[in-house]
């Protein structure tokens, strides 16, 4: 098995004394080279330019010869005898205490369907596959959007993890946004239960404004491993917030972690599992034997030895190259009639394909050259001044600038998504304006209200809220006979679809105070009919429980901040 880069820090030789064998090997090589040089018996008799043409061309004149192959085999055998090793033998008495913490982005952009069935559903499927590869291993699940919440602390119960994972959706989050850095205190609290180095796996499609700096500072102190999994595609389409691969790769780079893209098969999950295992350190057992991992060199030595079986082997084995040469030759042309029109169409298609390939190469070259001199934000500013707003949005790294570029491109819902990734007064104001332009009036008023609670004197906020509220009232008067569709929450709709909520309608749902009956546990158990009714009323889907739990946690955190 090839070593992982993270495991190479433990690389050493189990039998380094075999390195002394290189001394006689070098002496033999030196003696052989001097003997070959002394074979020139006629060196002082015949002129060198004539002697060169009189001598026979032997094996030594070619680089592919038995002598060189013997040297390569000797080096490989020497390394094998020295016993390279980089991992310990697992002990049946030791326990893998390394923790796995999964961070899942549950913001609105994760509901986009550029990958089927959606980004969030695909991420949850991959998390389930990862947990299935790690049975009986402890894992924790933390979700975040505008706030972060611990779904489950470290547990080895796969069933309950899967049950709560299936219930995760954006509607249960009490606050919109995208702030993965809010999950770091929760990760720290979870890892207090484990003394081993942990691995944090982040499933996300983008970052907040201050996420990179917060993660770099935290992981620089913790010594844990960060694996970032990008969810989504980088397609530039109307109403689509593309995957921010560059930002996620940068996050993995500054924290010393790794970045992976989702794949159709399970290769990404298996790679994640290998990286998690390579970060594993056996606790309180440094006396475990190291595994001799040099046995893999036996196979290339055996292959090389097959070439060295008789004199003239370089010519004997050259016929093996014939199939490779024949594979690259074009097959015989078949005699069939082709119309000029068909030939022209194919030629035109080929020309278009070549032109597209050339344009892609040119574009990649320009991007590479620009990256040498300008940051992504600087390139975005230049593209915005040139009026290419979508290209500017693709180059910007700062979420506020990305939102501004989409705002100028009149893709207001995507602009609002990026504005929601910054926790500032300006971001709330810009998000409210973007949603107002997208006729998402209800959520626009909500953003204005949150801004006015934080900063009542913010210029323009109260005026804009009043104008949007007037539009809502006017729509409500015009739609007195309409009623909002039951069971659909505005925050739960998919970004990129027609999800703007202009008004709630004149008919508001009214909740009447129902008479409640309180039963004790003895009364429920005594009456079979009552017990059956109570069991039917138990909510099997934990989504509502999580929504209430997260809302209470956010309120409690807000009260603590005020104190």
Residue 176 · residue 493 · CB < 8 Å:
no
Task: List the one residue out of 227, 231, 225 whose CA is nearest residue 205.
Answer: 231
Q: Which two tokens stand for residue 61?
A: 């004149």
User: How confident is the model over 146-166, as a mean pLDDT?
Assistant: 87
What pTM did the predictor assign? 0.59
Token couple for 207: 């970052």
268 C-beta neighbours (distance < 10 Å), count: 18
End-to-end Cα, the chain, rounded Å: 56
d(CA 318, CA 320): 5
74 & 123 share domain: no
Average pLDDT, the chain: 74
Tell me, yes or no, whether 22 and 118 share the same domain: no
Give the position of tokens 């009260």.
559
Q: What digits encode the pLDDT tens for the residues 290-328?
A: 777 777 777 887 777 776 655 555 444 444 443 444 344
Q: Does the residue 54 lie in any domain?
A: yes
Q: Decide which of 250 and 303 is more confident.
A: 250
Q: Alpha-carbon distance 93 to 283, whole Å?
A: 11
Token digits for 151?
Answer: 């779904």
Percent of the chain predicted with pLDDT > 70? 64
Instruction: Over range 501-511, report the average pLDDT.
Output: 51
Mean pLDDT within 453-466: 90
Q: How confident is the model at residue 331, as a pLDDT?
A: 38
- Taken in order 186, 191, 192, 197, is the CA torsion positive or negative? negative
The last residue of one of the domains, among 467, 500, 533, is 467
- Is residue 346's pLDDT more than 70? no
- CA–CA distance, 371 with 394 (Å, rounded to integer): 13
| pLDDT band, residue 249 (cuts 50/70/90) | very high
Of the candidates 202, 195, 205, the residue with the CA atom closest to the CA atom of residue 107: 205
Whether 14 shows a pLDDT value over 70: the answer reads yes
Structural domain contains residue 411? yes
Nearest to 90 by CA among 294, 295, 290: 290
Q: From 181, 128, 168, select the one nearest 492 (Cα to Cα).
A: 168
Same domain, 247 and 128: yes
Residue 381 pLDDT level (bands cut at 50, 70, 90): confident
Query: Are residue 31 and residue 123 in the same domain, yes or no?
Result: no
CATH code at 433? 1.25.40.10
User: Which one-letter DSSP state was computed for residue 151?
Assistant: E
**Same domain membership, residue 157 and residue 71:** no
- CB distance 172 to 111 below 8 Å: no
pLDDT mean over 326-336 = 38
Domain assignment present for 387: yes
> How many Cβ atoms from other residues are within 10 Å of residue 319's Cβ?
8
In a domain, 117, yes or no: yes
Please check whether residues 46 and 158 belong to one and the same domain: no
Q: Are residues 80 and 156 in the same domain?
A: no
Q: Which of 100-109, 244-253, 452-461, 510-519 has the lowest mean pLDDT?
A: 510-519
Residue 337 has pLDDT above 60, yes or no: no
Tell me which residue range forms the domain holding 445: 377-467
In sequence order, what are the residues at sequence separation of 6 or more whose Cβ sits closer than 8 angstroms to the Cβ of residue 473?
A: 503
pLDDT digits (tens, 9 = 90+) for 549-562: 787 777 776 655 55
Contact by Cβ (8 Å): 228, 204? yes
Here the tokens at position 148 are 């972060």
- Inform me whether the pLDDT recorded for 65 exceeds 70: no
Same domain for 179 and 75?
no
Residue 55: pLDDT above 80? no
- pLDDT for res 84: 85
Last residue of one domain, picked from the residues 467, 488, 509: 467
């Amino acid at each position: 098995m090839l070593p992982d880069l993270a495991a190479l820090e433990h690389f050493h030789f189990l039998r380094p004394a075999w390195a002394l064998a290189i001394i006689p090997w070098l002496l033999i090589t030196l003696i052989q080279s001097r003997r070959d040089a002394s074979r020139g018996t006629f060196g002082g008799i015949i002129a060198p330019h004539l002697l060169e043409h009189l001598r026979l061309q032997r094996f030594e004149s070619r680089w592919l010869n038995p002598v060189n192959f013997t040297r390569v085999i000797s080096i490989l055998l020497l390394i094998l005898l020295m016993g390279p090793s980089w991992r310990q033998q697992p002990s049946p008495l030791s326990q893998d205490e390394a923790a796995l913490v999964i961070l899942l982005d549950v913001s609105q952009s994760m509901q986009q369907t550029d990958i089927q069935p959606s980004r969030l559903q695909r991420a949850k499927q991959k998390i389930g596959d990862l947990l299935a590869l790690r049975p009986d291993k402890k894992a924790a699940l933390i979700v975040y959007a505008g706030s972060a919440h611990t779904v489950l602390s470290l547990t080895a119960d796969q069933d309950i993890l899967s049950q709560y994972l299936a219930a995760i959706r954006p509607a249960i989050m009490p606050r919109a946004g995208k702030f993965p850095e809010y999950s770091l205190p929760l990760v720290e609290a979870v890892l207090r239960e484990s003394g081993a180095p942990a691995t944090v796996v982040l499933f996300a499609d983008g970052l907040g404004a201050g996420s990179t700096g917060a993660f770099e500072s935290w992981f620089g102190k913790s010594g844990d491993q960060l694996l970032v999994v990008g969810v989504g595609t980088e397609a530039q389409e109307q109403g689509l917030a593309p995957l921010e691969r560059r930002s996620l790769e940068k996050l993995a780079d500054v924290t010393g972690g790794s970045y992976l893209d989702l794949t159709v098969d399970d290769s990404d999950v298996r790679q994640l599992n290998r990286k998690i295992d390579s970060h594993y350190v056996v606790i309180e057992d440094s006396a475990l034997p190291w595994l001799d991992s040099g046995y893999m060199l036996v196979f290339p030595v055996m292959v090389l030895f097959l070439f060295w079986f008789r004199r003239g082997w370089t010519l004997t084995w050259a016929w093996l190259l014939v199939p490779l040469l024949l594979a690259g030759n074009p097959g015989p042309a078949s005699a069939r009639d082709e119309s000029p029109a068909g030939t022209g169409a194919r030629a035109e298609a080929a020309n278009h394909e070549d032109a597209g390939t050339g344009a892609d190469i040119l574009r990649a070259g320009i991007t590479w050259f620009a990256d040498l001199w300008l940051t992504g934000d600087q390139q975005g500013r230049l593209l915005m001044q040139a009026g290419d707003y979508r290209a500017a949005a693709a180059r910007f790294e700062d979420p506020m600038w990305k939102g501004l570029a989409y705002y100028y491109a009149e893709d207001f819902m995507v602009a609002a998504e990026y504005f929601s990734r910054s926790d500032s007064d300006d971001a709330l104001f810009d998000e409210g304006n973007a949603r107002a332009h997208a006729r998402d009036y209800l959520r626009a008023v909500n953003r204005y209200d949150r801004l006015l609670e934080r900063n009542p004197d913010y210029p323009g906020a109260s005026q804009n809220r009043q104008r949007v509220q007037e539009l809502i009232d006017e729509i409500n008067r015009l739609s007195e006979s309409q009623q909002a569709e039951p069971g659909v929450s505005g925050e739960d709709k998919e970004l990129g679809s027609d999800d703007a909520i202009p008004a709630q309608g004149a008919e508001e749902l009214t909740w009447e105070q129902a008479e409640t009956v309180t039963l004790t546990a003895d009364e429920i158990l005594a009456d079979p009919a009552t017990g059956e009714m109570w069991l039917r009323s138990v909510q099997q889907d934990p989504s509502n429980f999580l929504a209430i739990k997260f809302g209470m946690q956010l309120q409690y955190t807000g009260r603590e901040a005020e104190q």
